[in-house]
Amino acid sequence: METVNAVGRRKAAVARVIVKEGNGTITINKRPLDVYFPSSILQYIVKQPLLTLEAAEKYDILVNLDGGGYKGQAEALRLAIARALVKINPEDKPALRAEGFMTRDPRVVERKKPGRPKARKRFQFSKR
């Protein structure tokens, strides 16, 4: 198997992954997964597609993560890994789709409007 590239996005975060056969190491921005994401919940989010396919020990994953916060980055990485796994084996797509890992979450921050303090918030109304 050669290397497979994929991209995942969530909010402002972009995850670019390179997946190749190996022993299950995930390296994010030249740091191990448990150093980059100290939270076990975020580590679990990242590993969800691998655990669904029982492929956690089969692939080495090299990640370039940029933008967003830690939660958005973890979810962008989950999407990128799922997309890469489908490129490797297209028969895995229905299982990943059923878990919701193939869907790009379209929700992003709404832009600030002119004449308002934030996107929807208004300045205090004064009758007199």
Chain segment 67-96, per-residue pLDDT in tens = 999 999 999 999 999 999 999 999 999 999
Closest CA to 93 of 44, 45, 63, 49: 49
Residues 6+ apart with CB under 8 A from 1: 20, 21, 88
Q: 17 — phi, psi (to 5°)?
A: -120, 150
Helix/strand/coil for 62: strand
Confidence of residue 56 (pLDDT cuts 50, 70, 90): confident
Q: Say if residue 2's pLDDT is above 90.
A: no
Mean pLDDT of the chain: 93
Q: Which residues pair with 6 in a beta bridge?
A: 17
Helix/strand/coil for 98: helix
- Looking at the chain, the whole-number percentage of residues with pLDDT higher than 70 is 99
Token pair of 10, please?
């969530």
For residues 79 and 17, give the distance between their C-alpha atoms in angstroms, rounded to a whole number: 10
Q: Say if residue 1's pLDDT is above 70.
A: no
Q: Which residues pair with 15 in a beta bridge?
A: 8, 65
Computed on alpha carbons and rounded to an integer, the radius of gyration of the chain in Å comes to: 18
